[in-house]
Structure 1
Amino acid sequence: MTIAEEKKDLRRRIRAQERELSPRYKEQSAAAIAAIVCALPDYQEADTVFCFVGTEREIDTRAILDDALAKGKRLCLPLCMAEPGIMELRVVASLDELVPGAYGILEPAADTVCLTPDEVDFAVLPCLSCSRGGHRLGQGGGYYDRFLSTYRGSAALLCRERLLREDVPVEPHDMPVPWVVTENGLYEDGVPARIK
């Protein structure tokens, strides 16, 4: 089996596992994860934050988005482009500006300000699953792989503890994310860490 086939198989298994999670667990884990992210010094010190808008099957990031806007941070969200695997980082001043995008995910409007990855201080990233060492299993579209190939700032990968997997297949282009946040806490380079 190729690594691509292993990833496809693991995506199928993780999606099935995610569907079995209770709404209560999802809500509680999302709230705990958001609280940890908002307590991270790198997040607190960041002027510009890049974050995703969580779908029903992902971590609900609304608390992080609301916190960033309330603290006056410049918040940018992904806008998926027509070209597969390409997203732009677009600035939003209010979550009321978001509109359903190509995949039904709320996105910024096409006329909003576009930033480069170099302008982001802190990034909050999604995954289907990941290892504690920050190897992520995404949806397979390559959007965040492309982002991570050029991004050099601080980043946190969000994953529910019950969906962590140490056997995430890795290809040469897969970039690990140093920080993983679950409802149980923070992992830094695979090791449980304290928030300073």
Structure 2
Amino acid sequence: MAPDRISQEKSRLRKRLLHQRQSLSPQDWHHHSDRLWERLTRLPDFQRATTVLAYMSHRREPDLAGLFQHSHKIWGLPRCQGENLTWHHYQPGIDRLTPGQFGILEPDLDWQELTLEQVDLVLVPCVAGDRQGYRLGYGGGYYDRLFMDSAWRRIPRIGLLFHFALLERLPHHDWDIPLNGVCTEEATIMI
């Protein structure tokens, strides 16, 4: 498939799946989110990890609030800095987050920045994912740019999404870098 056709197909899928996710009732969203993070905590990569990079739910992404409260990890959250992400230490229930340039809650710039060497696991938000580890994001390329660095690719990367957004195969460009696994409320697929 030509690159333009791949981009068009990604855009079509993104629109459909975001609409489907936004259509979840608050009760279903919380229920699916809780089941997802409970499944995630049973993964060996999660159990071994000391420092985990995560995200704050936006646009009905799986909510990780319960995970933050019930898992004794060192947490890192992203902050958009130009076209890149920086990662900052987050203390659930203590640190106050503020909306960033996309309305996503972010750490303040002066919070302790985490280094690559400290990170054991990256939890990646996804609009969709497939059984080969490819992810569909929002199209901004933040995680793609992060994982272009081979040092970041050595850290396990698990995409989090609701099960309806787990597809057999996503369209992807040659430069797309697959994740090490995807986790939904119903299944975990490690690549």
RMSD: 1.7
Task: Give the direction of change, closer, same or farther, for the CA distance of 1:13–1:147 in structure 2 (3 Å limit).
Answer: same
**Counterparts of residues 1-196 of structure 1 (less than 5 Å):** 1-68=4-71, 71=72, 73-81=73-81, 83-84=82-83, 86-97=84-95, 98-150=97-149, 151=152, 152-189=154-191
Q: Distance in 2 between matches of 1:148 and 1:63?
A: 27
Structure 1 residue runs of 5 or longer lacking an equivalent are: 190-196
Displacement of 1:157 after TM fit? 0.8
1:44-72 CA distance string (max 9 Å, x none): 2212110011124211011222234xx2x
> Number of residue pairs matched?
184
Structure 2 residue runs of 5 or longer lacking an equivalent are: none
1:36 partner letter: R
Q: Distance in 2 between matches of 1:77 and 1:20?
A: 26
Displacement of 1:164 after TM fit? 1.6
1:163 partner letter: A
1:125 partner letter: V
TM-score in terms of structure 2 length? 0.88
1:156-185 CA distance string (max 9 Å, x none): 111111122224111122111121111112
In the alignment, is the contact (CA less than 8 A) between 1:117 and 1:147 conserved in 2? no
Q: Distance in 2 between matches of 1:172 and 1:89?
A: 27
1:88-119 CA distance string (max 9 Å, x none): 01112334422221112111110012223342
Task: Give the direction of change, closer, same or farther, for the CA distance of 1:133–1:167 in structure 2 (3 Å limit).
Answer: closer
Displacement of 1:133 after TM fit? 2.1
In the alignment, is the contact (CA less than 8 A) between 1:161 and 1:182 conserved in 2? yes
Question: Which residue pairs with 1:194 in the alignment?
Answer: none
TM-score in terms of structure 1 length? 0.86
In the alignment, is the contact (CA less than 8 A) between 1:156 and 1:180 conserved in 2? yes
Q: Distance in 2 between matches of 1:126 and 1:33?
A: 12
